[in-house]
Amino acid sequence: MNLSEIKELVTLMNDNDLLELEVEDGDQKVRLRKLYEGVREKIVAIPSAPIAAISAGAVAPAAAAPEGGTVAAEGAQKKIPAPMVGTFYRAPSPDSPPYVEVGDVVTKDTVLCLVEAMKVMNEIKTECEGTITEVLVENGKAVEFGQAMFVVALG
Amino acid sequence: MPGVVGRLLVEYEQTLSTNNLVREFGEAGEPEGIAVTAHRQTAGRGRRGSHWFTPESGSLCVSVLLRPRHWGGRMTLLPLLVALSAAEAVEALCPSVAVTLKWPNDLMVAGRKLGGVLCESFGRDRTLFVVAGLGLNGNFTAFDFPREIRKESVTLQDCVGGPVELQSLLECTLRRLDLNYEKAGRGHLDGLLENLRTRMPMLGGTVEIETGGRVLTGTAEALLGNGELAVHTPEGRRITVVSGHVRRYTESL
């Protein structure tokens, strides 16, 4: 049962003031419940266009980070800084290949790495377009706030 | 305002990973508080892809969509808040069981692991969302575990000597998390931090932590405001640990 099917069921619940709904579809069974009476579940997708605009604009805070966080001008390169203190991981799991390698062409939505802090795995995206020219941190090592993790040749 | 976490609970009979389903909700821009649970999770994950063992059924697995947009540095408290909420729920339903927390994300009973939390964050600023996943060993026995983790694990059924009402436990956990999440969101942290500290017997004891590719040994001195662990080393240095795996600890309480 996918997201849009679930949304349809939520609409059905709202329209009929239901707190619980169970649906069987072949061998799949799904139950929907509201824990709090009187809470009308709003399933309203945020339009995707503004989100894209915002994430493109989000490159700016990265530039505010200290040490290596600044967009280096020489040869139109950008260093991708760690947005937080934590542990740097190049792959989603120990037996998966790295998200990116040197030479890979990346777009702003390319996932570069994970930075883990307090068992929160934070997925870090490029937020610019270009080619990875350097990986500056070894897998599993600690990173400081603002420490450069990758170098991207822009363009 | 409370009434967020668990506003909608989606229960699947079976799924690959509840965290992945909630991630889809998050990416579609759904509002926070939606929870997804499954009676059977066939590809559940622990930290960094380590396989989270779940038997055929009897585990409690739930993932919640959160959007802690204005939390800033406090976001690192989330795994602790989820673990605390689950510990409170277990004790409310099974008063004979005393649940402690192992920094930063495990639930323990008498030194054995009862469950764990895995959070994943995606996007940033306005698009930021967190998938908070909880797994608890419920109605089976530790003998069902693979041999290598049997000795370190415990289940609720082992603790109380019979099956536990997992449905009520799930609801209670979500309600507790709703309250704790709301408090933390408003910056009312003192009470939460105190509750966390009293549940962490490792505080004041000796810890051995793998962090950033090295092993750190010292006294676990304090739990700091964003959930970090302050460790005092034998050389007299005070180190703030935000990322690490506690390999061993002695209890002081």
Closest approach of chain A CAs to the CA of B234, in angstroms?
21
Q: Provide mean pLDDT across the span B235-240.
A: 95
The answer to whether the beta carbons of residues B208 and B216 sit under 8 Å apart is yes
Q: How much is the CA Rg of chain B, to the nearest whole Å?
A: 17
- C-alpha B48/C-alpha B22 separation (Å) is 17
CA B199 to each of CA A120, B208, B214: distance values in angstroms, whole numbers, following the listed order: 20, 19, 27
Confidence band for B213, pLDDT divided at 50, 70 and 90: confident
- Whether the per-residue pLDDT at B13 is higher than 60: the answer is yes
From A50-54, A98-102, B14-18, B197-201, the region with the lowest mean pLDDT: A50-54
| Token digits of residue B121 | 């964050």
- Residue A151 near residue A136, CB atoms below 8 Å: yes
- Taking Cα atoms as reference points, which of B218, B219, B222, B215 lies closest to residue B247? B215
Contacts of B13 in chain A (CB under 8 A): 28-30
Question: Which pLDDT score, from 0 to 100, does residue B107 have?
Answer: 97
Phi/psi of residue A34, each to 5°? -110, 125
What proportion of chain B, given as a percentage, has pLDDT over 90?
A: 75
Residues of chain A found within 8 Å of residue B104, distances taken between Cβ atoms: 118-119
As a whole number, mean pLDDT of residues B183-191 equals 95
- Cβ neighbours of B10 in A, within 8 Å: 6, 30-32
Residues 137-166 of B with CB under 8 A from A: none
pLDDT at A93: 87
Q: In this model, does residue A4 exceed pLDDT 80?
A: yes
| A64: contact with B, CB 8 A cutoff | no
Do B243 and A30 count as a contact with CB atoms less than 8 A apart? no
A40 Cα to chain B: minimum distance (Å): 8
- pLDDT for residue A41: 58
Residue pair B40/B14 in contact by the 8 Å Cβ criterion: yes
Provide the pLDDT for residue A60: 35
Q: Which of residues 21-50 of A touch B (CB under 8 A)?
A: 28-36, 39, 41-48
The residue extents of the domains of chain A are: 3-58, 72-154
Give the C-alpha separation, A135 to A100, whole Å.
Answer: 9
> Which residue, among A120, A139, A141, would best test binding to B if mutated, counting the most B CBs under 10 Å from its CB?
A120
Q: Do A96 and B49 touch (CB under 8 A)?
A: yes
Q: Is the peptide bond before B95 cis (omega within 30 degrees of 0)?
A: no
The whole-angstrom separation of Cα A103 and Cα A154 is: 12
pLDDT at B161 over 60: yes
Closest chain B CA to residue A89:
B48
Supply the pLDDT for residue A152: 96
Question: pLDDT at residue A81 above 80?
Answer: yes
Cβ neighbour number for residue B31 with a 10 Å cutoff? 17
Domains and CATH numbers, chain B: 8-198 (3.30.930.10), 206-249 (2.30.30.100)
Mean pLDDT (chain B, rounded): 90
- Count H helices and E strands in chain A, helices first: 3, 10
Give the mean pLDDT of A39-47: 52
Q: Tell if the CB–CB gap between A120 and B79 is shorter than 8 Å.
A: yes
pLDDT of residue B149: 81
- Mean per-residue pLDDT for A82-101? 93
d(CA A118, CA B102): 12
Q: Does B123 touch chain A (CB under 8 A)?
A: yes
Q: Given CA atoms B15, B18, B23, B29 in this order, what sign does their dihedral have?
A: positive
pLDDT category, A2, cuts 50, 70, 90? Answer: confident
Would you state the pLDDT for residue A43?
55
pLDDT for res A71: 47
Residues of chain B with C-beta less than 8 angstroms from the C-beta of A87? 211-212, 243-244
Domain A72-154 has CATH 2.40.50.100: yes
In the prediction, which pLDDT does A58 show? 33
Name the residue among B8, B75, B125 with its Cβ closest to that of A54.
B125
Whole-angstrom distance, CA of residue A106 vs CA of residue B202: 44
Mapped onto helix, strand or coil, the DSSP state of residue B89 is helix
Shortest Cα–Cα distance, A77 to chain B (Å): 22
Q: What is the 3-state secondary structure (H, E, C) of A55-83?
A: HHHCHHHHHCCCCCCCCCCHHHEEEEECC
What is the longest distance spanned by two Cα atoms in chain A? 62
* pLDDT for B58: 86
* pLDDT over 60 (residue B172): yes
Q: What is the pLDDT of residue A40?
A: 59
Averaged over B57-72, what is the pLDDT? 92
Hey, which residues 225-244 in chain B have their CB within 8 Å of chain A? 226-228, 242-244
B127–A51 CB contact, under 8 Å: yes
B68/A contact by beta carbon, under 8 A: no
The pLDDT tens digits for B21-37 are 899 999 999 999 999 99
The pLDDT assigned to B129 comes to 96
Residue A19's contacts (CB-CB under 8 Å, 6 or more residues apart) are A13, A33, A34, A37
Q: How confident is the model at residue A56 (pLDDT cuts 50, 70, 90)?
A: very low
| Angle in degrees, 0-180, between the axes of helices B190-198 and B78-93, rounded to the nearest 10 | 60
The rounded distance, in Å, linking the Cα atoms of B102 and B80 is 9
For A19, the token pair is 């707190």
CA distances from B167 to A150, B58, B173 (A): 46, 11, 10
Are residues B175 and A51, on separate chains, in Cβ contact within 8 Å? no
| pLDDT at residue number B47 | 46
A111 part of contact set with chain B, CB < 8 Å:
no
Is residue B137 pLDDT above 70, yes or no?
Answer: yes
Reduce the secondary structure of A108-152 to three states and give it as a string: CCCEEEEEEECCEEEEEECCCCEEEEEECCCCCCEECCCCEEEEE
What does pLDDT average to over chain A?
80
The pLDDT, as a whole number, for residue A5 is: 86
Amino acid code (one letter) for A136: L
Band of the pLDDT at B209, cuts 50, 70, 90? very high
Helix (H) or strand (E) holding B191: helix B190-198
Give residues with Cβ within 8 angstroms of B14, minimum separation 6.
B38, B39, B40, B41, B42
